[in-house]
Structure 1
Amino acid sequence: MPTRTQQMYADHEIMALIHFNMGTWAGNGDPACNRDNWLGLQGSHNPAVFDPYLLDTDQWAAVFQRLGAKHAVLTAKHGCGFLLWPSKVPLKNVATHQLEPYTYSVGRPGISAIQVDVVKQFVTSMRNAGLGVGFYYSLKNNFLVNMKDHHFENTTTLLPGQILMTKEDYEEMALGHLRELWTNYGELTEHWFDNGYTPSIKDRLQALLEELQPNMIVWRGQGITNNTVAWVGTESGFPAGDDIWSTGCYGKNPGDPNADEWCPKGCDTTLQDRDQWFYMPEEPIRSLEVMVKLYHKTVGRNGVLELDVAVDRSGRIRYDHAQRYQELGDYIKACYGTPLASWKDQKGYLLDFTLSQPMTMDRVMLREDQWQGGQRVRQYAVYVQEVVPSSTVSTSYEQEWTLFSRGHSIGNKRIDVAGDGPSVVATQPVKATKIRIHVEIATDVPWFREIAIFSPCPDTGNVTTSMIPVAVS
């Protein structure tokens, strides 16, 4: 069974995963900083390189609202080690045996180009827009202190500006950073630990989490919180197979129906092509058609779409990026805002519904009541009773049951669309008079939060989006 926090996360369905840090200038990667771009006046070692001269977090929030995202996560610290807030936590330099200010950040007079607390500004804008907030702070990489994949690199070849620390001091500093993030910015919705954490920090991390943010969802938080979310196993936006399960916390896969532990699946992917997370000026973006498909393969298969937002170097979401996010949000609203018919709080293995009149439909949405009953369905079939011309009397009609789709996982939301995927038998819209849901295999009496049918959606080429003024740059 999910925790209340896990159910909230599943209900959010879409969130914005903002990549905005030194990598916006240094290039894509984790860490984006490297030996080729670290040095020089415009090198990534220089805090003044981070200079978003038109920073507009209100614009971000407006775009996220139109997308339909319910919360946003900001890269407060990515692999370079650059901080988007002026931390008071010092670092201990092995070379000098001294505690030194952590000046590789915003908000440092005479050092940083931008003197604002970007994290605070982000939090204020999101909350004013009614959105939840969270942070990405990875423990595995910090190029400033020569940390790579949870290990220090060759300590004899430090670059100018890099600082040598012991592992123990590094972990204490990182915990201090997390204490600031989890204390100074109110209640948080989600935290991202990219690639998890090391065993040496587990107990302290768990205690800090329980003390400061016990109700926060944690990406890759297995072992330190029950409010964990597991990675679906790919960054493509198209998980393997046709089913995502709410259980199963371990392994790079879409879950395990036979596992005991509850872990909703986060499906992280990019708008930019070629798995590019930070803003790349020349990188094309995915088409609306592709974005709609990945929505159906993530949210429509019981996942949560964690969609990257690559803020540009001005500090805004570029016009064409903002437009695509808004087009996707508008498509989802136009397609799924008003069902042809819906039925809520239904229990049973065999459920028949009679429509008020024949209706042309090409998709069905199923939602289990996971908060009340968990994920019970293991195999289901959807049938429709179609209106067809009689073979004997051309002016009369007869009705017959036909299989529309057959699948396995339902969970928080399952969307079956005619002509889309191996589980869907129907290849085109049907004119239905009745709908039948037959649960063929289940661990207990199936409990549906909602069942709904929808008419064919607008073609992706015909989606019209009126851009909100704040999104124009």
Structure 2
Amino acid sequence: GEVHEVWFDGANGEGPNGKKQIYDWDAILKTIRRLQPKAVTAIMGDDVRWVGNERGIGRETEWSATALMPHSYAGADESYAKLGIKGTGKDLGSRALLEKAPALYWYPSEVDVSIRPGWFYHAEQDNQVKSLAHLTDIYFKSVGYNSVLLLNIPPDRRGLIHENDANRIKELASYVKKTFADNQVEKGNAAWTAKAGESKVYKLKKDALVNTFLIQEDISKGQRIEDFTIEVFTNRAWRHVAEGTTVGYKRLVRFSDSKAEKLRVTVNAARGTANISNIGLYYAQPLTEKNVKVKLSDVSVKDWKTVGMPAEAANAIDGDPQTVWTAKALTPLVVDMGKASEVIGFSYAPAQKEDLTGTIYKYNFYVSIDGKNWTKCDAGGEFSNIMHNPVPYFVRFGKKYPARYFKLEPAAEINNKPATTVGEVGILLK
């Protein structure tokens, strides 16, 4: 039968005399290509490289065109030493690195992880199969980061895939299929050649609710995109929702639920002309992982203080979304962070309870250096779908604002009631 991949693990066994094993790579690879010409050789092979960890997490900036020489090539160790790089490094394809590199290789990343705690089957781990939420996060941070995902599923003592593993894989397949079945972008698969600085506007289906962006390059023509920005047109204005660096075969970007009428994609930087083959906007049903804490702020709340507010308002900035600040009116939350930062966004976590009264639907967000002169931030002004999906929302402005103080001003409650509740507010710096 057909062999899809031949894995040469990076582990290097030693012989009885204690010397490092030397492999005849030329003979090994020629044999594979003669017997299985379609097979990919991985890790120590020259088709697919190891991402550098076994957690299932790729790099947000992942170049398939890399200065990293395949390890099976003669002189690989010398090349690594000269360039100061290794397979586990963060930078394998930046312009600064390529300026020093004598050659460039098409050597895409493969992310490996096991569906269980270990690589082999153990009966006591039958209830430790990774959750759907965990596997979905792995999918977005591997396939969605321009990598191949190799998910290990060990056979049990019967020589079969255990029922728990099989059921979880079916759940994952169903989730991915459902998520990407309905592209809200019209004519998103039309080819687009873009130079740095160019944008393209796409029409969306009516009443589009989205939280996931997809972009793909035609990699038969190489990998070119270095930086891109995503904006949606909502409430009669363009709003920044997310950004990214490399694209390659596939890049997936998640953001908070947003209602959108149009999409604008801007290629901020590229190596020559980018060849974009597909653009998509989708809605991925939120999944929650029990006992996993979501990071809501890039700035420590330790020194934060509310300004001109009752003591209970501190519940909104204590780092715990379970403690709630409640007001019987649409009351702004004003906070002194203690020192100035370059703010690019904020997070809002609604109260984690059955009664959602007071949940903010529409808002304004302001920043200030002195607490007296306020600047209104360029934000969407609406937590779309928060009534049906009361999870933390992350808002990014698309530019930096210097701020020591911030003010979250509720403009409307989900049911137009005169009330405000805040589980937690955080500040984003990246």
TM-score using structure 1 length: 0.50
Deviates more, 1:405-414 or 1:198-207: 198-207
Tell me, what secondary structure is at the counterpart of 1:298? coil
Give the match for residue 218 of structure 2: 369
Q: Which residue of 2 aligns with 1:346?
A: 192
Report what 2:63 is aligned to.
Answer: 245
Corresponding residue to 1:151 among 14, 22, 29: 14
Q: Distance in 2 between matches of 1:214 and 1:134?
A: 10
1:221-370 correspondence runs (5 A): 221-222=44-45, 225=46, 228-239=47-58, 241-248=59-66, 249-250=68-69, 251-253=87-89, 255-258=92-95, 259=98, 260-273=104-117, 276-283=118-125, 284-342=128-186, 343-344=188-189, 345-348=191-194, 349-370=198-219
Identity of aligned residues (%): 25
For 1:231 and 1:268, the matched residues in 2 are separated by 8
Q: What is the CA–CA distance in structure 1 between the aligned matches of 2:61 and 2:9, rounded to whole Å?
A: 31
Q: Does the C-alpha gap of structure 1 residues 364 and 135 become closer, same or farther in structure 2, counting only changes over 3 Å?
A: closer
Q: How does 1:390-401 map to 2 (within 5 A)?
A: 399-401=236-238
SS at match of 2:277: strand
Question: Structure 1 residue 439 and structure 2 residue 305: aligned?
Answer: no
Q: 2:176, 2:271 → 1: CA distance?
A: 32
- Assess, with a 3 A threshold, how the Cα gap between structure 1 residues 139 and 325 changes in structure 2: closer, same or farther: closer
Partner of 1:58: none
Counterpart CA distance in 1 for 2:120 and 2:133 is 22
Equivalent position of 1:133 in the other structure: 3
- Deviation of 1:137 (Å): 6.4
The whole-number CA distance in structure 2 between the counterparts of 1:441 and 1:135 is: 34
What's the C-alpha RMSD, in Å, of the aligned pairs? Answer: 2.6
CA distance in 2, matches of 1:411, 1:206: 26
Q: Shift of the alpha carbon at 1:347?
A: 1.9
Distance 1:137 1:403 in 2: 42
Q: Secondary structure of the equivalent of 2:137?
A: helix
Are 2:219 and 2:249, in contact at CA under 8 Å, matched by a contact in 1? yes
Aligned-partner Cα distance in 2 for 1:334–1:458: 13
Q: Distance in 1 between matches of 2:281 and 2:8?
A: 42
Amino acid at match of 1:366: I
State the SS of the aligned residue for 1:301: coil
Q: What's the secondary structure of 1:321's corresponding residue?
A: helix
How far residue 242 of structure 1 moved from its aligned partner, in angstroms, is 2.0
Q: Does 1:201 align with 2:24?
A: yes
1:370 Cα shift?
0.8
User: Is the contact between residue 207 and residue 259 of structure 2 (CA under 8 Å) also seen in structure 1?
Assistant: yes
Cα deviations across residues 59-113 of structure 1 (Å, max 9, x unaligned)?
xxxxxxxxxxxxxxxxxxxxxxxxxxxxxxxxxxxxxxxxxxxxxxxxxxxxxxx
| Structure 2 counterpart of 1:444, one-letter code | G
* Structure 2 equivalent of residue 69 of structure 1: none
* Equivalent residues of 1:139, 1:150 under 8 A apart: no
**Unmatched runs of 5 consecutive residues or more in structure 2:** 70-86, 99-103, 290-430
In the alignment, does 2:257 pair up with 1:448?
no
Displacement of 1:216 in angstroms is 2.3
CA contact (8 A) 2:142 2:149 kept: yes
Amino acid at match of 1:269: V
Say if 1:220 and 1:229, in contact at 8 Å, map to a contact too. Answer: yes
Cα distance in 2 between the residues matched to 1:333 and 1:291 = 14
Aligned-partner SS, 1:447: strand
Q: Alpha-carbon deviations, 1:4-47, whole Å to 9, x = none? A: xxxxxxxxxxxxxxxxxxxxxxxxxxxxxxxxxxxxxxxxxxxx
Quick one: distance in 1 between partners of 2:112 and 2:230? 29
Distance 1:410 1:140 in 2: 27
Alpha-carbon distance in structure 2 between the residues aligned to 1:456 and 1:135: 31
Structure 2 SS opposite 1:403? strand
Greater relative CO, 1 or 2 (CA 8 Å, sep 6+): 1
Q: Is the 8 A contact 2:228 2:265 kept in 1?
A: yes
- 8 A contact 1:334–1:458 mirrored in 2: no
Label 1:369 to 1:257 Cα distance change in 2 as closer, same or farther (>3 A): farther
- What is aligned with 1:402? 239
**Aligned equivalent of 1:218, options 41, 44, 47:** 41
Task: Return the alpha-carbon distance in structure 2 between the equivalents of residues 367 and 140 of structure 1.
Answer: 30
Tell me which residue corresponds to 2:420: none
Output the CA distance in 1 between the equivalents of 2:167 and 2:266.
40
The answer (yes or no) to whether the contact 1:247–1:257 under 8 Å persists in 2 is: no
Partners of 2:5 and 2:38 in 1: CA distance: 14
Correspondence 1:408-419 to 2 at 5 A: 408-418=245-255
| 1:336 Cα deviation after fit | 1.1
Give unmatched runs, 5+ long, in structure 1: 1-122, 124-131, 142-148, 156-166, 168-196, 389-398, 419-427, 462-473
Q: Distance in 2 between matches of 1:139 and 1:221?
A: 6
1:288–1:460 CA contact under 8 A, matched in 2: no
Alpha-carbon distance, 1:220 to partner: 2.3
Q: TM-score, normalised by structure 2?
A: 0.55
**C-alpha contact 2:214 2:280 (8 A) present in aligned 1:** yes
Which 4+ stretches in 1 moved above 6 angstroms?
A: none
Give the total of aligned pairs. 256
Deviation at 1:263, TM superposition (A): 0.9
Q: Distance in 1 between matches of 2:52 and 2:176?
A: 25
Distance 1:210 1:308, change over 3 A: closer
Deviation of 1:366 after TM superposition, in Å, equals: 0.4
| Equivalent-residue separation in structure 2 for 1:244 and 1:262 (angstroms) | 12
Relative distance call for 1:412 and 1:198 in structure 2 (3 A) is farther
